Amino acid sequence: MATNIAVENVRKVYQTGKDEVEAVSNVSFTAEEGEFVAILGPSGCGKSTLLMMCAGLETITSGRIIMDGQPVTEPRAHVGIMFQDSTLLPWKTVMENILFPVKVQKRPMAEHKERARELIHMVGLSGFEEKKPHQLSGGMRQRVAICRALVTDPDILLMDEPFSALDAMTRDEMNDALLDIWDRYRKTGLFVTHSIREAVYLADRVLVMTRRPATVVEDLRIPFGRPRDRSIGEKAEFNEICAYLRNLIEKREDSPRRQARAA
């Protein structure tokens, strides 16, 4: 398989007055074509900053990110993005929100309307095409956001904790919906989360990041094939992997505390 994403020794430093804050420190990894890579780590560790650099929405202090053989210097039309909030336009309907990237990129509207209808049906929103965001539940709004990210048929999908604000049952439903979409369209994906079980359930590989300044301390391939369903969460191997990742993160979190006490 071809490499869709290559992150090479990427570093991000923020200037706050006279001080510098290093958010991301020398991160390197690749994602192959059609691979779903979860980026796992504690809240505030720099996962989202890394994803926004991949999206071209955040500048890189040093290192480089390559997508489809080209350095990332700005947002790209072939990259779809999902944020923590659905970020829907409140005055537009479901269909209009989904087609908004088509309008912005000045693509042919007629052919994309058919794709939008197909996506709406696939995520279970048929009949809601003319509803406004305030008439939808949180889970439904995120389904619209998935459709919007996919309507232009991007090669790469970047997702920044898109289900973190949902209740547990709705989050499970959204995970299942995303798996169904992945089985059908098989994009290359980076998925930021702080949920260990979500990462193991969804991903082909899980990258574990440390607290800030964030760096990758584990790149674990998940041994479960596709398609998947929730029954894998009952397997001993699934829970062993989750326990391993939890112990790895907790050890990394505990290390600075020990150093502080020693000082």
Task: State the pairing for strand pair 62-67/70-71.
Answer: antiparallel
Q: Which two tokens stand for residue 54?
A: 């991949």
Task: Judge contact between 211 and 42, C-beta under 8 A.
Answer: yes
Nearest-5° angle of CA 216, CA 242, CA 144?
80
Tell me the β-bridge partners of 65. Answer: 7
What φ, ψ does residue 126 adopt, rounded to 5°? -60, 135
Amino acid at 53: M
Please give the chain's pLDDT, 263 residues, in tens.
566 899 999 999 988 777 888 889 999 999 999 999 999 988 778 899 999 999 999 999 999 999 988 999 888 888 999 988 888 999 999 999 999 999 988 898 988 999 999 999 988 899 999 999 999 998 899 999 999 999 998 989 999 998 888 888 888 988 998 898 888 888 899 999 989 999 999 999 999 998 878 889 999 999 999 999 899 999 999 999 999 999 998 876 655 444 434 44
188-220 residues labelled b (16+ CB within 10 A) or e (exposed): bbbbbbbbbbbbbbbbbbbbbbbbbbbbbebeb
Instruction: Judge: domain 3-78+154-262, CATH 3.40.50.300.
Output: yes
In which element (H, E) is residue 256 found? helix 236-262
Tell me the β-bridge partners of 13. Answer: 22
Domains of the chain, by residue range, sit at 3-78+154-262
Model pTM above 0.85: yes
Under DSSP, the state recorded for 78 is T
